[in-house]
Amino acid sequence: IVLICIHDQIPLQAALCLRHFIDFYQQAMAHEHSENTIRQMNCSLTLYNKYSSIFEKYSKSRLNFPKNHALWKYAEDIKSHGVVRNYSTNSTELQHKRDAKKPAKRTNFHKNSFTEQVFVFC
């Protein structure tokens, strides 16, 4: 709905970029997938990347960041694990807390002593 309201207020390339990202997102979050829907999803992602260059000048990273790159893994993940709604990153986040955050909280965060203190935990 937002895209309908703003499409004539933003450059055409920006509107097309947003449209294809929304298409990709809706296709990726679908409850069922076939070879055709996965192909359409990849097509939408290709078009999103084609038009996303308009936003590069506003991004310090020039849109080169892991989450943007990870979008290309959705098709293979869907083929190997099923629909996206069936799995999450909660378990890996929990492991990250155990491996990194809890030991870091036990330190006083001094740059010189951090490494020494981490070795104490190993």
Task: Specify whether 75 is located in the same domain as 117.
Answer: no
Query: Residue 51 is encoded by which pair of tokens?
Result: 């038009």
**pTM score, whole prediction:** 0.64
24 burial via Cβ count (<10 Å: 0-12, 13-18, 19+): buried
* pLDDT one-digit tens code per residue, 61-98: 777 777 788 899 889 989 888 887 656 555 566 666 77
| Longest alpha-carbon distance in the chain | 60
Domain count, the chain: 2
Instruction: Report residue 57 CA to chain centroid gap.
Output: 20
Host domain of residue 44: 2-87
Residue 10: left if φ>0, alpha if ψ -120 to 50, beta else—which one?
beta
Task: Specify whether 10 is located in the same domain as 39.
Answer: yes
Query: Residue 73 is encoded by which pair of tokens?
Result: 């893994």
